[in-house]
Amino acid sequence: MENSGLRQNSFLETETPARLMRKYAMPCIISLLVAALYNIVDQIFIANASYLGSYGNAANTVVYPLTVVALAIAVMIGDGACAFVSISLGAGKEDDAHRAIGSAVVLSVLSSLALTAVYLIFADPIVTAFGGRVNQGTYEKAREYFFWISAGVPFYMFGQAMNPVIRSDGSPRFAMASTLAGAVANIILDPLFIYVFKWGMAGAAIATVAGQMLTAALAVWYLFHMKAVKLKKESFRAHFKLAGRYLALGMTSFLSQISLVAAMMAINNMIHKYGALDPVFSSPELSQVPMAVVGIVMKFFQIVISVSVGLAAGCIPVVGYNVGAGRNDRVKALFTRLLIYETAIGAFALLIVELMPRQLIAIFGSANESTEYTSFAVKAFRTYLCLMPLATVNKGTFIFLQSVGKALASTLISLIREMVFGVGFALLLPLWLGLDGVLWSMPLSDLMTFIIAAFVIAYTYRQLNRGDSFAARGAAEKA
């Protein structure tokens, strides 16, 4: 049988690494930025609506981690399938490729329906667990927003899971365009529903869901027009054994997202607890301010990390193909460029947060807020994000390891960063530093993680120099 998928993607082994990174990483960066902008755009419009203000901002902060749970499951399926499909095509295993994609479709649909059911049934305890009871105004707006966001989870997860799969088929621009189309719809509908129709938090959520439905519809269309991989009826089965292999490759993506949820849950609850003890924010009219502010800081962090992750994730098909083809020289060249670019992204972001915190705050409606709000926001930006270059290098390293099939190493380091350091420091530092402890938990976590990552980076270079065969190649050739 002719290896059409292999011919279709053979340029991944011949074009220069720089050109391939531009071709694949830029659409991926834009796709992830656009996906992140869904919630950020909601928060901007909410913050600038006088009848929602910081209460709406705080409610958005409460619900945001719950959307990340959906994203975590989706990217585990999608990124894992993307890496597996790329490695399979590089090794000439087209049957594995089409079955993995069909299985990813089935898993994304089933898991999204299950998550929606959980959210709708247990809405009240879930919102409470993520700090929604900071005051009554925040709680009511969080419940309203959460209901409609939950209803859109199946569309959101399907679109996000299929996006990396589309990239693995050699169509990063279509993946970008489908996500961009949904975000544009959200940007158009948000002001209409919030300012004109006065639908409040429900309006912001409905606009978001409408955009997600458009992205999902475009993904369905693409599945019937794939290039390198041709789907068949037999593709659309669970293929549990195969799914286990690509889900392992997507575990880092899952942990990087789901552990953010755990960290945000810890942070929100520490803000609730220590905000009540703070001499300024213990007053009822300001009690929602720390949660609203930290939510805004996290949104800027999400923008930067979307660029960082997009750069690394965009390289997954390229790195995976060259790993499958045994081209360690090209893998090394890609890794070097990735580390340089990740450092530059973090340094540029650091300059912005240190020099322009007030301008960033103004985007989220600070003109309607108190001086205490602005003062705390400036401190939060400058403290929470003071080690951004280390954060971006860490993220790039995690995903690179994932793309070469080092699922265990990638998973363990990501787990240590997010669950051990991220959650641990968020819980411990406030015991001595109060609200400031929440802010210092992020840079300390990134510093400790970078120390570990530096050893892993050095070891990976030694393997590449020796010409070692990576585990992913062997995994792709099994079965």
Rounded Cα–Cα distance for residues 20 and 312 (Å): 12
Number of alpha helices (DSSP H) and beta strands (DSSP E) in the chain:
21, 0
Rounded Cα–Cα distance for residues 465 and 462 (Å): 5
At residue 207, the pLDDT reads: 95
State the DSSP code for 236: S
Question: How many other β-carbons are positioned within 10 Å of the β-carbon of residue 16?
Answer: 10
At residue 159, the pLDDT reads: 94
**% of residues, the chain, pLDDT over 70:** 93
Q: pLDDT by residue (tens digit) across 304-356?
A: 988 998 888 888 778 877 877 777 888 888 889 999 999 999 999 999 999 99
Q: pLDDT by residue (tens digit) across 94-153?
A: 787 888 889 999 999 999 999 999 999 999 999 998 888 877 888 999 999 999 999 999
Higher-confidence position of 172 and 6? 172
Angle at 288 between CA 282 and CA 291, to 5 degrees: 110
Sequence length of the chain is 479
Q: How confident is the model at residue 365 (pLDDT cuts 50, 70, 90)?
A: low
Q: Which residues contact 432 (CB under 8 A, 6 or more apart)?
A: none
How is the chain split into domains, by residue range? 20-477
Contact 317/402 with Cβ under 8 angstroms? no
Q: Does the pLDDT at position 439 exceed 50? A: yes
Q: What is the mean pLDDT of the chain?
A: 84
Q: How confident is the model at residue 10 (pLDDT cuts 50, 70, 90)?
A: low
Q: Which residue has the tokens 């959101």?
A: 156
Q: Does the pLDDT at position 254 exceed 90? A: no
Q: Which residues contact 72 (CB under 8 A, 6 or more apart)?
A: 253, 254, 255, 256, 257, 258, 261
Helices within 122-152 (DSSP H only): 123-129, 136-151
User: E strands within 56-186?
Assistant: none
**% of residues, the chain, pLDDT over 90:** 35
> Among candidates 294, 241, 306, which has minimal Cα distance to 442?
294
At residue 211, the pLDDT reads: 94
And the tokens for 400?
């690179």
Higher-confidence position of 269 and 32? 269
And the tokens for 188?
């158009």
Angle at 14 between CA 8 and CA 16, to 5 degrees: 120
State the DSSP code for 11: G
Angle between the N-to-C axes of helices 153-168 and 94-121, in degrees from 0 to 180, rounded to the nearest 10: 160
At residue 9, the pLDDT reads: 60
And the tokens for 155?
């569309």
The predicted model gives 393-400 an average pLDDT of: 89
To the question of pTM greater than 0.85 for the whole model, the response is no
The predicted model gives 245-268 an average pLDDT of: 79
Rounded Cα–Cα distance for residues 125 and 186 (Å): 28
Rounded Cα–Cα distance for residues 107 and 110 (Å): 5
State the DSSP code for 198: -
Q: pLDDT by residue (tens digit) across 169-203?
A: 888 889 888 988 998 999 999 999 999 999 989 99
Q: Does the pLDDT at position 478 exceed 60? A: no
C-alpha separations of 372 from 349, 358, 366, 415, 432 in Å: 25, 13, 11, 35, 22
The predicted model gives 420-447 an average pLDDT of: 92
Rounded Cα–Cα distance for residues 200 and 456 (Å): 48
At residue 471, the pLDDT reads: 41
At residue 274, the pLDDT reads: 87
Higher-confidence position of 142 and 41? 142
End-to-end CA distance of the chain: 18
